[in-house]
């Protein structure tokens, strides 16, 4: 594994929580917002290896939703993922 020395955005868990709340409020299907919120967790900072990055680099992420039952999570990673700031992970 290669060490990732790229600058990391400095966000607090409160800022990440506000971003998640704002994004859930934007759901076009308001009927999904309530059920989705059951999986939202207090933001937790973790380093993750993204499969699209050559060299198995670790990137800083915030786990923002997860389900032990369905074995998945959703992470937020600002400034590293080439297409979007969120991703689905196998927990």
User: pLDDT (tens digit, 9 = 90+) per residue, 7-36?
Assistant: 666 788 999 999 999 989 999 998 999 999
Residue 45: which of 8, 90, 18 has the closest Cα? 8
Residue ranges making up the domain that contains 43: 13-90
Domain annotation covers residue 5 = no
| Number of domains present in the structure of the chain | 1
29-61 per-position pLDDT tens digit: 989 999 999 999 999 988 887 766 667 677 788
Tally Cβ neighbours within 10 Å of residue 90.
7
Is 1 part of any domain?
Answer: no
Has residue 7 been placed in a domain?
A: no
Residue 34 in domain:
yes
Assigned domain for 77 exists: yes
Q: Rg (Cα) of the chain, in Å, rounded?
A: 14
């Amino acid at each position: 594994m290669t060490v990732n020395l790229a600058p990391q955005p400095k966000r607090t868990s409160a800022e990440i929580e506000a971003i998640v709340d704002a994004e859930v409020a934007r759901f076009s299907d308001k009927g999904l917002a309530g059920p989705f919120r059951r999986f939202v967790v207090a933001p937790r900072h973790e380093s993750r290896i993204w499969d699209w990055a050559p060299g198995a680099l670790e990137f800083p992420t915030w786990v923002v939703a997860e389900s032990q039952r369905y074995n998945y999570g959703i992470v937020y990673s600002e400034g590293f993922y080439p297409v979007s700031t969120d991703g689905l992970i196998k927990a």
